[in-house]
Amino acid sequence: MTDTSARDYQSSNPDHQLSAYSYLLPEGRIAQNPVTPRDHSKLLVIDGPQSHRHSHFYNLGDWLMPGDLLIFNDTKVIPARLYGQKVSGASVEVLLIEPTVDDRWLALVRPGRRIPPGTEIVFGDSAQPLMSALVESRDESTGGRIIRLLPKVDKTIDALIHQLGQMPLPPYITESTSLPEQYQTVFAQKQGAIAAPTAGLHFTQSLLDKLNAKGIQTAEITLHVGIGTFRPVEVSDIETHEMHKERIEVSAETVKRIKKTKANGGRVITVGTTSTRALEGVAAICGELQPYRGKTDLFIYPGYQWQVIDGMITNFHLPGSSLLMMISALVGRKRLMTVYQAAIEQDYRFYSFGDAMLILPEATVDFSF
């Protein structure tokens, strides 16, 4: 399908219309800070085609069974937001998205229209900067820039990013007093994300220990959260939406644990949409789940044929987002909108620092008919 025909194409499926993924969230319901302790957030459990229950995250083990396998995303958020200035003195904000080659990064810059190729940005004291960035080209797929980072002192680029950068909280979190470590999961290991895999923020080490004692197993994948996860869907027919690729890694050990779990009758429950996209993305690329390291741009929306996962733990997502569409592919759009309304009525907190939802296998939709 050419670009022109993609724009003109309109699906007859109402679940494929962007307008079907809107809802009204009362003012003040967007969580600005995490709950303390982490596992004291609310948990809405979808446990059947027409039923849901209200609980708390520390009760997660009550809904899981020995032999179940939780899949975590072990990515770690980097302090990717940098504030600098052009040689002229004008302020510039740079959001590092992902490294490319030789200290070059894909980055979003503001104000973008005033940052053409050839622009130099300095960070730290303008008289004695610690690092600079040379804008080399424009990235048409994202509207971002390819920049080359250059140290001005005897430190590595990685060290300077951690010295100069700030945690890139989402734009809807405007009044947070959270500490940087509160925007990391307790199992974060591999640096590279520009946003946390937020479903994992609810876990504490104490809860993990309790789950392990019950016989609930865990395994890890890596998806470095980038533009693909949080960029909004802007086309009226979602079938024409294109995801930005994100870096993923699924190890041989994780594949082994998943296959063993299924062979023994256990359930594979992903923690978050990123873990879900990684596993299903590998299956889509390779034809089946197998060890893989590369990128995925898989876009999951209603009608998708699930290949790996059985259920999911997730947060509550923005209207019109690809994440909301992914959850709709698991439980059905109308059902999900009903559950979201119930969550609003029960004063659940929404988005990254908000409450959680557990979708059990018996609540998932079969789109194979």
pLDDT digits (tens, 9 = 90+) for 203-262: 999 999 999 999 999 999 999 999 877 788 999 999 999 999 999 999 999 999 999 999
Residue 112 has pLDDT above 90, yes or no: no
In whole angstroms, what separates CA 47 from the centre of its chain? 24
| Per-residue confidence (pLDDT) for residue 303, from 0 to 100 | 96
Q: Are 195 and 77 in contact (CB under 8 A)?
A: yes
Report the pLDDT averaged over residues 58-67.
98
Please give the pLDDT value at position 66.
98
Q: Tell me phi and psi for residue 101, to 5 degrees.
A: -140, 150
Cβ-Cβ contacts under 8 Å for 142 (sequence gap 6 or more): 97, 106, 108, 227, 244
User: Which whole number is the average pLDDT over 267-284?
Assistant: 98
> What is the C-alpha separation between 149 and 161, in angstroms, rounded?
10
Residue closest to 313 by CA, chosen among 228, 216, 238: 216
CB-based burial of residue 25 (10 Å sphere; 0-12 exposed, 13-18 middle, 19+ buried)? middle
- Homologous superfamily (CATH) of 81-164 is QueA-like (2.40.10.240)
pLDDT above 60 for 367: no
Report pLDDT for 148.
Answer: 98
CA distance 285 to 297: 10
Question: Going by CATH, does the domain composed of 3-77+178-363 fall within 3.40.1780.10?
Answer: yes
pLDDT digit string (tens) for 351-363?
999 999 999 999 9
Annotated domain spans of the chain: 3-77+178-363, 81-164
Tens of pLDDT along 186-220?
999 999 999 999 999 999 999 999 999 999 999 99
